[in-house]
Structure 1
Amino acid sequence: MAKNQNRAGRAPSQRQLRVGELIRRTLSEVLMRGDIHDPDLNRMSITVSEVRVTPDLRLATAYVLPLGGQGQEEALSSLRQNRHELRMVVTKKMALKHSPEIRYEIDTTFDRMDETRRLLDQDNVQRDLAVPDDAGDEDA
């Protein structure tokens, strides 16, 4: 019964990580080379930052971002329109028993990093983080 429990909240397995990275590399290569028959998609430079795979390896979510962060919705729309061809090309280049369905999402990691940096640069936060001059003199 323990094997059938939901893995939600658990860290991904080594196999999930390995397959996700293989899909990420292959998808990046396909997009970089322009192997898809869509001129709109081929003219975009899209970064695939991460691919997360479900425990059963049937579904993969690719986190993508167009170069410079501009045209996110257009890039996402093009990827979704070409998802069947992308899946076929990626599967052909990989040696997997099953071809996972690939879903595409915009990677918001960089936005969160910028927001964190902005928050840490605020004067009141800097004041709270400042170390008093006599903090190291407790033993003296």
Structure 2
Amino acid sequence: MRTARLAGLATALVMTVLVSLMSAPAPSARAATTEASWGSVNAKNAVLKRGCRNYSYRYAVDAPTKGDWDLSVRIMRKGRVVWFGYLYEGPSPEAGVARFRLCSSQVRPGRYRLEAVVSVQDGREVTESELPVDTFKLRKPRRRR
């Protein structure tokens, strides 16, 4: 009796999963491409100062499709996200300077990657494009003699 009940529950679970998979949107609807023409991000080399400090990066968004855009930005080091930020149309101009905050207790001097994805939403349709990656260095402060 218990085995029959478990088999019925397992069948119901499988059917629920199959129905939800069949009704999910196609994965190609949100596939990201890399398009330099959609914009850019870049950061200059800087000195990693003691404590928590603000650093800046430049961005430009030029999405070729109509709709509302947003820009997801992350700073990576050795495959690990060390900072994440988000800009969106409205309060953010299409090009400008934005800031990120890093703490010397959390990051080390070295080379970092600045990665960004532009998303444009027009109604229910979302189109995404990865911007070209920029790299920058954070170096130790020079010691005074």
- Whether TM-score is above 0.5 comes out as no
Question: Which is strand-richer, 1 or 2?
Answer: 2
Greater RCO structure (CA 8 Å; 6+ sep): 2
Taking structure 2 as the reference length, the TM-score comes to: 0.23
Rg larger in structure? 2
Higher helix share: 1
> Structure 1-normalised TM-score?
0.24
